[in-house]
Structure 1
Amino acid sequence: MVYTPPPELAGLSLAEIAQAVGSRGLPPVDQWKPEATSDSRMRIAADGTWYHDGSPVARPAMVRAFASLLWRDPADGQHYLVTPHYRQTIEVEDAAFRAVDMQVKDGALAFRLNTDELVIAGPDHPLRAEGDAEAPAIYLHVRHGCEARLDRSTWLQLAEHALAGGDDLAVHSQGAAFSLVPR
């Protein structure tokens, strides 16, 4: 099956972005409760690179496939790759995804992830600020407890948008307000 990435974020309307988000069929990993657990010997580095047995996963299609199976346990924060009959732990150094682009569309903030997925920030996909004034980090909730950390250029896009809207370093998307000031 040939993979066709979504068009550039800048060229899409909010309706087209929402349609692309809704059309992606993802496995219901939050509904699967397998008892068998082992170690996947996989790691997602802080820069978003996936590794297996210490070697980078070179095929983007494999990363997208594995990413669709990610789930983070709310009790202990452990990330897993989940199938109906098995789950494997996966080490995540910072965040499971990286947000690599952002666009403001019709009062909403749309983000492209390193897996080519599109996410619209809002009540179901909140933004949160961590770190401190010297080293802030902005995270976007993606799904199943997993987050995307905004890369530097995307963080700068978001900060410029916030500053254009006022001095409070806050942004709004789909009726929700998010402070960019680290807690």
Structure 2
Amino acid sequence: MPYTPPPDLAGLSLAEIAELSASRQLPPIDEWDPPETDHSKMRIAADGKWYHDGGQITRPAMVRAFASLLRREEDKRYFLVTPHYKQEIEVEDAAFIAVDCKHIEDEVLAFRLNIDENVMPGPDYPLRAAGDADTPAIYLAFRHGCEARLDRSTWLQLAEIALQQGDGTNVTSQGETFSLSPE
């Protein structure tokens, strides 16, 4: 079955983004607790590219499929989880990359991830500032304990929104205020 990418984030309304997010059917990996087996021989590089046994996974559909099985445990290790297997996967920085941002109706931010999924920061998906003043990094919480790091252009989009909302150091989404200054 061919994959149809979602529409451009800039052209979507808040209701359309919420509908796209809600319509995504994901496996119930939080309900699965198989025994840990061995390493998956997979790695997610800091730039968001996925690798298996040293070779890049170039099929976006495969990356999206694996992403739907990814979970970060309390010990900060990442696993691909199925009903019968749990294999560790190396993640160099964040599991995903936020590649676009939109400010909707002055109340909600929406981000598009490199796996063609949308996330709206708020109480369930907070933004986190890390790094330092010279090399800041903004992370967005995502499902199953994973995070998405904002790429440079998305970080700049967010900084512009912060300037529009106030002094440029905070942004608000779904009633939550998030600092863009590293701690």
Q: State the match for 1:77 in structure 2.
A: 76
TM-superposition CA deviations, 1:70-114 (whole Å, max 9, x none): 00001x100000001101100000000000000011210000000
Q: State the match for 2:27 in structure 1.
A: 27
Whichever residue aligns with residue 136 of structure 1, its letter is P
Q: State the match for 1:110 in structure 2.
A: 110
Q: State the match for 2:147 in structure 1.
A: 147
1:166 Cα deviation after fit: 1.6
Q: State the match for 2:37 in structure 1.
A: 37
Aligned equivalents of 1:88 and 1:116: distance in 2? 24
Residues 162 and 169 in structure 2, CA contact (< 8 A), matched pair in contact too: yes
SS in 2 for 1:61: helix
Q: State the match for 2:99 in structure 1.
A: 100
Structure 2, unaligned stretches of length 5 or more?
Answer: none
Residues 126 and 140 in structure 2, CA contact (< 8 A), matched pair in contact too: yes
Aligned equivalents of 2:119 and 2:166: distance in 1? 24
Task: Point out the more displaced range, 141-150 or 166-175.
Answer: 166-175
TM-superposition CA deviations, 1:113-152 (whole Å, max 9, x none): 0000111111111000000000000000010000000000
User: What RMSD in Å do the two structures reach over aligned CA positions?
Assistant: 0.8
Give the 4+ runs in structure 1 shifted more than 3 A: none
1:168 Cα deviation after fit: 5.1
Aligned equivalents of 2:121 and 2:43: distance in 1? 26
Q: State the match for 1:4 in structure 2.
A: 4
Aligned equivalents of 2:135 and 2:96: distance in 1? 19
1:39 Cα deviation after fit: 0.5
Residues 159 and 168 in structure 2, CA contact (< 8 A), matched pair in contact too: no
TM-superposition CA deviations, 1:7-28 (whole Å, max 9, x none): 0000000000000000000111
SS in 1 for 2:76: coil
Aligned-pair identity in percent equals 68
Q: State the match for 2:15 in structure 1.
A: 15
SS in 1 for 2:62: helix
